[in-house]
Amino acid sequence: LTRPPYAPLGADTLPDRLWHRPELTRLLGPPAQWRVREVGDGNLNLVFIVEGRDGSLVVKQALPYARVVGESWPMSLDRAFFEYEASLRLGARDPGRMPTLHLFDREQALQVMEHLTPHIILRKGLIAGTRYPALGEHLGHFLARTLFRGSDWAMETAHRKADLALFAGNVELCGITEDLFFTDPFFDCPRNRHNPALDAEVATVRADRALKLAALRLKARFCTGAETLLHGDFHTGSVMVSAQDSRVIDAEFATYGPMGFDIGSLLANLWMAAFSQEGLRPGDADARAYRRWIRDLAAQIWRVFTDEFARLWRTERAGILGGHDLFEAQSDREGAEQALAARLAAIWHDTLGFAGLEMYRRVLGLAHIAEFEAIGDEAARGACERRALRLGRALAVTPERFADVAAVNALAVELD
Ligand code: ADP
Ligand code: MG
Ligand code: MG
Ligand code: MG
């Protein structure tokens, strides 16, 4: 019995390829009635929505190359395996926040998962100016639970080390982050592109040694600071939202790294979304208040994160970094609290740096963000992007200026 070799799915061929899988027929009903549409708007993979008599599902399949560039950029199919393995772990660490997984086929590099509906990508909701009352709590909890529970502060160390070894295999996607995030934006990399209105800023960056030193310092943190299993691509395009619900998708960049990486990626995207409002909705009476809502959301996510992280520290701390033998076992509760404060301060410091670099890569690197791209007028777009670069530089080069998230929001207001 030989299994068919890998072949990419198409909307027309999907029913013929998957009709015999009980995981699909059980939830969709008879294959003759399936309707398939391709919805992938991402950079890398194929995504299909399959609707049947009894329900709908999402099928995501990796391609042997990066979709955004084409076959000239080959890319390992194994990323589907790492996405699946990471999704299982992140989903278990904060139940209900990832789509339910129904099937994984390593050979075909495909997974079948819950169709999130009526959810939309958060980035689109932010462009439309929609408020999501539960979002800050959901994302703050998700960050605290996944980052804490995937670390040596929580896991049994042999188990944690085995996971570290497993995800070390995601070397190719991790390498994309290493290049695109930490190196490309800071030299004349052919993959880069930028708004011509920012030519002067680009020239400044090329000569900015302090910024490059910060980028290299943060790259070292990312490459060597294997604190926990990160989502690895945690921006507002990897969150789907409805009025009440928030979900996290697209964990293929998962890798062991520093806790502040996921937090910084997300917060940077919120600060950029706020900066984009004036360009996206000039003259809109709500744009000013909405900017404030986004900044408040960033502050809330950090606050919920720290509260939940502290709760987990006090109730679930274990593993080789638990430190109970040094503190609780000596009736020194205050020592454990000081260790917590030091851990949160270190995460905050990293968060600032990674947030700063995320802003650079989204303005000067390969992968830009829809909020800025949707501003048609180059000068207006440049004005918004320039604010992101200013804030980004301050966060990456002088993180000590920002004692807390309120200090970042204050500079964002000043620049806006
Ligand atoms: P990529 O890795 O190519 O970026 P994503 O996992 O981000 O792929 O998915 C691409 C798009 O497909 C998302 O932006 C979203 O619109 C849609 N999508 C992905 N997963 C789901 C899902 N479970 N339910 C509904 N839509 C989804
Ligand atoms: Mg994606
Ligand atoms: Mg992506
Ligand atoms: Mg992806």
- Identify which of 41, 97, 65 has the alpha carbon closest to the alpha carbon of residue 248: 97
Among the bound ligands, the one closest to the CA of 40: 1
| CATH code for the part of the protein at 14-114 | 3.30.200.20
pLDDT at 68: 80
Quick one: residue 113, left, alpha or beta (phi over 0 = left, psi -120 to 50 = alpha)? beta
34 Cα: distance to centroid of ligand 1 (angstroms): 19
**CB within 6 Å of ligand 1 — which residues?**
39-45, 47, 58, 60, 99, 113-116, 121, 249-250, 252
Ligand nearest to the CA of 41: 1
Give the residue among 407, 391, 372 at the shortest CA–CA distance from 126: 372
Q: Quick check: 374 and 127 in contact, CB under 8 A?
A: yes
pLDDT of residue 1: 62
Residue 103's SS3 state is strand
Write down the domain spans for the chain.
14-114, 120-415
Mean pLDDT in runs of 10 for the chain (416 residues)?
A: 88 97 97 95 89 98 89 93 98 98 97 98 97 98 99 97 98 96 98 97 98 98 98 98 98 98 99 96 91 98 98 95 94 97 98 98 97 97 98 98 98 96
Distance 181 CA to ligand 2 centre (A): 16
Cis peptide before 185 (omega within 30 of 0): no
Distance CA 390, CA 385 (A): 9
Tokens coding 406: 């309120």
Angstrom CA distances, 405 to 79, 149, 213, 281, 410, stand at 34, 24, 24, 26, 9
Q: Measured in angstroms, how far is the CA atom of residue 121 from the centroid of ligand 1?
A: 8
Integer Cα distance of 143 and 266 in angstroms: 10
pLDDT of 324 reads: 93
ipTM entry = 0.97
Same-fold call for 14-114 versus 120-415: no
pLDDT for residue 43: 77
Q: Which fold has domain 120-415?
A: Aminoglycoside 3'-phosphotransferase; Chain: A, domain 2 (3.90.1200)
Q: Are 75 and 175 in contact (CB under 8 A)?
A: no
pLDDT, residue 41, reads 76
Q: Residue whose CA is closest, atom 26 of ligand 1?
A: 116
* Cα 33 to middle of ligand 4, angstroms: 29
pLDDT of residue 227: 98
For 82-91, letters b (16+ CB in 10 Å) and e give bbbbbbebbb
